[in-house]
A = this chain, B = another copy of it.
Amino acid sequence: MLLLFEDGSEFLIDLEKDKKMHTHLGVIDLNEVLEKETGDIIRTSSGKKGYILKPRLIDEIMNMKRRTQIVYPKDSSFIVMMLDVKEGDRVIDTGVGSGAMCAVLARAAGSSGKVFAYERREEFAKLAQSNLTKWGLVERVTIKVRDISEGFDEKDVDALFLDVPDPWNYLDRCWEALKGGGRFATVCPTTNQVQETLKRLYELPFVKVEVWESLFRPYKPVPERLRPVDRMVAHTTYMIFATKVCRKEEI
């Protein structure tokens, strides 16, 4: 559950019987949490008031153990919409990293869909497996520990998401795995990577090539003094999109 206190502290916890949690706001008796409903009030030993909430996938992602840079929810939600992932889709995700994007794709593909998740490094594959299990999405995902320069096992996938430092080296492999009209997306933090990726993209039968970046600005939610916060995220990544066509020239 997610416990939210009035000072804004949030605790994302696994509920266990007869356990107590020690915090700067006092001790929280997890039995009390177990007995109550989502939305109810609890009190710490020092009388601080908290609310019992269910974590969203976005909360899980932002709070998970991670050892890699992740695709931020502001970007991953847009990518999934641009990739048009929907119930029943077959999707490739690579490299998997901590599994954040994989979870977002798996949620969109639904229980009848499938995400084929390629990750070169054993330890990240395990971390992603563990995160996806915790989030109840692991059944929709097949994780393969594999270097993608060998290519993908799947053909005719509906969409493919590529997250590696050198996307330009794998675009032909991505093209091979996609179905005609299939959607491709990749992310690059630097403009140099975007340039290299675009160069290679135009050599392959891809159309509808687009590059985007997003800025999300939070406001101080005070009705009498409504204004943006002082500082915000300036940059996460550039997003590149393309659509596979069968060929560019007629035979």
Chain A residues with a Cβ under 8 A of chain B = 4, 37-41, 49, 51-54, 56-58, 73-74, 76-78, 80-82, 84, 86-87, 104, 107-108, 110-111, 179-183, 189-192, 194-196, 198-199, 202, 207-235, 238, 240, 243-247, 250
Contact = CB atoms under 8 A, between A and B. Distances in A.
Nearest to A104: B81
Contacts of A84: 56-58
A250 B38 CA distance: 15
Count the copies: 4
Contact of A38 (B179, B210, B216, B229): B179
A111 B110 CA distance: 9
User: Per DSSP, are chain A's interface residues mostly helix, strand or loop, or mixed?
Assistant: mixed
A82 B55 CA distance: 11
A205 to B, nearest CB: 8
Contact of A217 (B215, B216, B231): B215
Contacts of A51: 207, 245
